[in-house]
Amino acid sequence: MEPIIEIKDINLSYTLVNPKIQSVKDFITSMSFKKLFTKKDVIKNLSLNIYKSEVLGIVGKNGTGKSTLLKAIAGILEPMSGKIIVRGKIAPLLSLGSGIELELTGYENIKLLGSLMGYSRKQMMSMNEKVIAFSELSDEQLQAPVKTYSSGMMARLSFSIAITETPEILIIDEVLAVGDQGFQRKCMNRINEIHKKGGTILFVSHSLADVQRICTRGICINNNVIEKEGNLHEVGKYYNSLFEN
């Protein structure tokens, strides 16, 4: 079977303005344009195939490149070398509240976020009610500017928009943690439902329990590479072992 996401030997690094250069004086005394930028490797020679209707759990320590990998798959970051082929439409949930405009109301934000996530006007109109129902936000709350919301309420808003329609590929980067228990459970059920309907899900989380509950396969990223891949139990054990020393 052809993988829905094919990652072939990618390398990813960040180009940053050299943190040592903080003023014009530093720049002039360093006297070099080359030194102006520094490179930081985040992912090295990584290959991975993800198949349709898989739920892939991704674990790893902070700062090892999990989010960077997801960003590359979502088409936000371009790898320096290698290739990523994605055969489907992606609904990205990479950070909480991105795209949400605090001054606008909940209703206005639903429209805005829906368009950012790639829904057409027609689709938005037909899914509007479902989004509102899933978010469990009241009419009164949705008429208020989002700056009055708690972070949990904001999570409800962006999550509802991303998963109301069944996305072909759903990417979730640790955004569930802020919702209350009821909403978290609801989201987990919805993720299961999407999985059963044939959706593919990439799930990054620090909660091993969540990963083991909903995922079908796991990978553990460490030191910029995939160090462990396969069975959830083994990946979990390996992940835990990273913290024992």
Write the interaction track for other proteins spanning residues 120-159; mark x where CB under 8 A is met and - where it is not.
Answer: xx--------------------------------------
Task: Choose which of 57, 60, 92, 199 interacts with other proteins (CB under 8 A).
Answer: 92
| Binding footprint of other proteins, residue count (CB under 8 A) | 32
> Of 1-9, 46-54, 87-95, 217-225, which part binds other proteins (CB under 8 A)?
87-95
Q: How far is the CB of 245 from other proteins (least distance, A)?
A: 30
Give the shortest CB-13-to-other proteins separation in angstroms: 9
Sign of the four-CA dihedral 115, 51, 236, 223: negative
CA distances from 65 to 10, 71, 220 (A): 12, 10, 11
User: DSSP for 83-129?
Assistant: EEEE-S-EEEE-STTTT--TTSBHHHHHHHHHHHTT--HHHHHHHHH
230 contacts other proteins (rule: CB under 8 A) = no
Our finding on whether 74 is near other proteins (CB under 8 A) is yes
Contact between 6 and other proteins (CB under 8 A)?
no
In this structure, what are the phi and psi dihedrals at residue 118, rounded to the nearest 5 degrees?
95, 20
Pick the binder of other proteins from 57, 97, 179, 236 (CB under 8 A).
97
CB of 20 to other proteins, least distance (A): 15
Distance CA 93, CA 80 (A): 24
The reply to whether 227 sits near other proteins by the rule CB under 8 A is no
Among 117, 142, 220, 226, binds other proteins (CB under 8 A): 117
Q: Does the protein bind other proteins through residue 167 (CB under 8 A)?
A: no
Name which of 61, 46, 52, 62 is nearest 10 in CA terms: 46
- Find the binding residues for other proteins in span 31-50 (CB under 8 A): 37, 40
> At its nearest, how many Å lie between other proteins and the CB of residue 233?
32
Cβ atoms of residues 89 and 167 within 8 Å = yes
Residue 228 β-bridge partners: 220
Q: Where are the beta strands (DSSP E) in the chain?
A: 5-17, 37-50, 55-60, 81-86, 90-93, 169-173, 200-204, 217-222, 225-230
- Identify which of 164, 215, 221, 224 has the alpha carbon closest to the alpha carbon of residue 233: 215
Closest to other proteins by CB, 71 or 228: 71
Longest dimension (CA), the chain: 61
Of 78 and 193, nearer to other proteins (C-beta) is 78
Give counts: helices (H), strands (E), the chain: 9, 9
* Residues forming the site for other proteins (CB under 8 A): 14-17, 37, 40, 71, 74-78, 90, 92, 94-95, 97-99, 101, 103-104, 108, 111-112, 115-121
